[in-house]
Amino acid sequence: MVGMPEGSRVIHAENDSIYLRHHDVEAPDLHRLYENAKRDQWNVSTDIDWSQKIDLDQGFMADELIDIYDTTFWHKMNSKEKAEMNRLFSAWRLSQLMHGEHGAVLVCGQLANVLPDADTKFFMATQVMDEARHNEFFQRYMSERVGKTYDQADTGRELFDFILSDPRWYIKTIGLQLIGETFAVALFKMLADTAKDELLRYGCKKILQDEARHMGFGMLSLPQQVAQMSPEERAEVEDFTVYFLRSTLSGGFPTEAYLDMGFNKAEINEIRDLRRQKAIGGDVAMFRQLFKRDIHSTLVNNLHRCGILSETMKGKLETELRVNVSEHLNAC
Ligand SMILES: [Fe+2]
Ligand SMILES: [Fe+2]
């Protein structure tokens, strides 16, 4: 390879590579996940019918996900403009998923080195392959159907740069399998149910099968580690988790897509305010409300199972992130 491909970045990392002498099964639950992963491999090239037609006038993701949907901005557009807005918005949102999948390939590659036993290393080898497949799916989808990609937003970039450069496996796992994948799974579920393009719905369903295993890895590997942490380490983990949950749960704002649609800065600020008000007032489509409920409930459940949901953490989630912890915890 000559030089760095345009748009790439280098993240400095010093991770241990633990070279094992023994490779016996020590954690049967994790080994079962590995067996399931081998059994359930699929192929983006042959298991997806890429020849399926798409109606470009219909768009890709549901219109209701676009912040300006059903506002005066939306009503002023003709049907061609609405379809183009849908294309640009979908391009931005799906680009973020694509970049996240690429980050997951890199983090899992590191985890295969840094994890201390064979069961976790073997599982992580399968997750590298899964994430490469997801990366491939979105790259092909964007290039063949949407025709546009955007750069990674600051929120995703910050999370991945942090966990790629921190040497501790549990920080990487909390960042990827607990924070990143809880958000991604809720989004994939919503897309699998509501996307207008049947191929996108199908691809998300296939990806979801893999993601369930990935979240399972976090749930099986983290509790023991969290239980052994000193009060200082636990406080650090709580701060890290809340910090990145705040940016991840916001989902980012597709400024570039609105700029490409021809909106000026003042209009985009207005749209941003509108989105904030809608979120606070709950004035969003039913499936967006369900998405929020789903993500909050999975998050509370997963944090609880990993042992991270201390009283301090509950307070931070309730006051800083407006997550109704007790309601979701009672339903667990
Ligand atoms: Fe993935
Ligand atoms: Fe994943």
pTM of the model: 0.95
Task: Please report, for residues 14, 111, 224, 271, the alpha-carbon distance to residue 114 in angstroms, rounded to integers and kept in the order given.
Answer: 10, 5, 17, 44
> How far, in Å, from the CA of 101 to the mean position of ligand 1?
5
Q: How far apart are CA 54 and CA 316, in angstroms?
A: 44
Q: How far apart are CA 212 and CA 77, in angstroms?
A: 39
> How far, in Å, from the CA of 22 to the mean position of ligand 2?
27
> How far, in Å, from the CA of 203 to the mean position of ligand 2?
14
> How far, in Å, from the CA of 47 to the mean position of ligand 1?
17
Q: Do 238 and 310 form a contact (C-beta atoms < 8 A)?
A: yes
Q: Spell out the per-residue pLDDT of the chain, length 332, in tens.
A: 567 888 999 999 999 999 999 999 999 999 999 999 999 999 999 999 999 998 888 899 999 999 999 899 999 999 999 999 999 999 999 999 999 999 999 999 999 999 999 999 999 999 999 999 999 999 999 999 999 999 999 999 999 999 999 999 999 999 999 999 999 999 999 999 999 999 999 999 999 999 999 999 999 999 999 999 999 999 999 999 999 999 888 878 999 999 999 999 999 999 999 888 877 666 666 777 788 888 999 999 999 999 999 999 999 999 988 898 988 886 65
Q: Do 128 and 110 form a contact (C-beta atoms < 8 A)?
A: no
> How far, in Å, from the CA of 182 to the mean position of ligand 1?
11
Q: Which residue has the tokens 């192929």?
A: 43
Full 3-state SS string of 95-151: HHHHHHHHHHHHHHHHHHHHCCCHHHHHHHHHHHHHHHHHHHHHHHHHHHHHCCCCC
Ligand nearest to the CA of 131: 1
Q: Which helix (H) or strand (E) holds 212?
A: helix 198-227
Q: Do 116 and 206 form a contact (C-beta atoms < 8 A)?
A: no
Q: What is the pLDDT of residue 55?
A: 87
Q: Do 237 and 229 form a contact (C-beta atoms < 8 A)?
A: yes
Q: Do 237 and 226 form a contact (C-beta atoms < 8 A)?
A: yes
Superfamily (CATH H level) for 28-37+59-331: Ribonucleotide Reductase, subunit A (1.10.620.20)
> How far, in Å, from the CA of 137 to the mean position of ligand 1?
10
